[in-house]
């Protein structure tokens, strides 16, 4: 999947920006201290925000070796910003206690944390690495009942490659409503102009969906305050048409809440 990430992204959004980059840039400008993106992927967001960080240290934590390799390769090109790329995950952050002014996950990376226990462990880690008063930002899809159901394969994207082939990306979903888990299967079929197949591969990944009020409880239990939920990166309120669920919260100074 990592090999296809950047080309799939550009085919779907026609840009490096899915409308979220200015939001994350503004967070960097509004905070002090070192900062980290968790689930940094191939660096789409980090490469856009790091130039605004001045002398602050910028970390990108990413569990997938192949995603990290792609990010490191991008950072090797001349004029790239200074970013320290680390192996780790939401539940294991390789950073000292109280070392960051800002930590964030972009494009739903926190949704790869699949159980409530793991979410609480992840929020413990995010709380641990933040300075008191430090800012956490996470984004989710706002669960919409009409989408959260099993789906047969549909053609989600189709794009040309520099080799003259065409990639079809098919997508299907299985949904477990009790676990609040969606298993998404992507199948990529790459064809020559005569429609013969060059590659045919599939991969499944799982995400957990979290409801807005559930998120408020999870964050409060985990020692966060000033919890602010929005329905988009432009700050719109959570609305009638669920789409994005963007949350910011601050590490509450003093002892953590008892669970």
CA dihedral 227, 233, 238, 244 (to 10 degrees): -100
The least distance separating ligand SAM from the CB of residue 45, rounded to whole angstroms, comes to 5
The least distance separating ligand SAM from the CB of residue 198, rounded to whole angstroms, comes to 25
CA dihedral 21, 139, 245, 18 (to 10 degrees): 30
| Residue 87 or 225 with smaller CB distance to ligand SAM | 87
| Residue 17 or 191 with smaller CB distance to ligand SAM | 17
| Residue 58 or 252 with smaller CB distance to ligand SAM | 58
Alpha-carbon gap, residue 161 to 8, rounded angstroms: 11
The least distance separating ligand SAM from the CB of residue 40, rounded to whole angstroms, comes to 6
**Contact residues for ligand SAM, defined by CB under 6 A:** 38-41, 44-45, 62-64, 67, 89-90, 106-109, 112-113
Alpha-carbon gap, residue 208 to 181, rounded angstroms: 4
Distances from the Cα of 47 to the Cαs of 42, 78, 81, in angstroms? Answer: 9, 13, 7
Alpha-carbon gap, residue 216 to 224, rounded angstroms: 9
Strand partners, 47: none
Contact by Cβ (8 Å): 224, 127: yes
| Residue 23 or 90 with smaller CB distance to ligand SAM | 90
The least distance separating ligand SAM from the CB of residue 192, rounded to whole angstroms, comes to 29
| Selection from 259, 221, 227 nearest residue 245 by Cα | 227
| Residue 141 or 159 with smaller CB distance to ligand SAM | 141
In this structure, what are the phi and psi dihedrals at residue 3, rounded to the nearest 5 degrees?
-65, -30
| Selection from 6, 36, 11, 10 nearest residue 24 by Cα | 36
The least distance separating ligand SAM from the CB of residue 41, rounded to whole angstroms, comes to 3
Distances from the Cα of 194 to the Cαs of 161, 164, 190, in angstroms? Answer: 15, 11, 11
Alpha-carbon gap, residue 140 to 113, rounded angstroms: 12
The least distance separating ligand SAM from the CB of residue 142, rounded to whole angstroms, comes to 16
| Residue 67 or 102 with smaller CB distance to ligand SAM | 67
| Residue 107 or 211 with smaller CB distance to ligand SAM | 107
The least distance separating ligand SAM from the CB of residue 24, rounded to whole angstroms, comes to 9
């Amino acid at each position: 999947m990592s090999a296809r990430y950047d080309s799939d992204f550009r085919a779907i959004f026609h840009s490096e920006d899915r409308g979220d980059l200015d939001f994350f840039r503004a967070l960097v400008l509004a905070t002090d201290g070192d900062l980290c993106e968790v689930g940094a992927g191939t660096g789409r967001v980090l490469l856009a925000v790091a130039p605004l960080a001045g002398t602050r240290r910028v970390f990108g934590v990413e569990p997938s070796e192949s995603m990290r390799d792609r990010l490191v390769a991008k950072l090797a090109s001349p004029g790239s910003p200074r970013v320290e790329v680390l192996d780790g995950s939401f539940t294991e952050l390789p950073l000292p206690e109280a070392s960051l002014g800002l930590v964030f996950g972009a494009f739903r990376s926190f949704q790869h944390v699949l159980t409530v226990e793991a979410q609480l462990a992840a929020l413990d880690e995010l709380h641990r690495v933040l300075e008191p008063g430090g800012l956490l930002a996470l984004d989710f899809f706002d669960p919409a009942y009409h989408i959260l159901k099993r789906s047969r394969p549909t053609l989600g994207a189709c794009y040309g490659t520099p080799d003259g082939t065409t990639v079809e990306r098919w997508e299907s979903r299985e949904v477990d409503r009790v676990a609040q888990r969606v298993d998404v299967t992507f199948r990529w079929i790459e064809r020559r102009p005569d429609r013969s197949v060059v590659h045919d591969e599939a991969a499944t990944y799982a995400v957990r969906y979290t409801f807005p009020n559930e998120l408020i409880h999870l964050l409060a239990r985990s020692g966060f305050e000033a919890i602010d939920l929005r329905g988009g990166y432009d700050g719109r309120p959570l609305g009638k048409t669920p789409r994005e669920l963007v949350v910011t919260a601050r590490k509450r100074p003093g002892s953590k809440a008892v669970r």
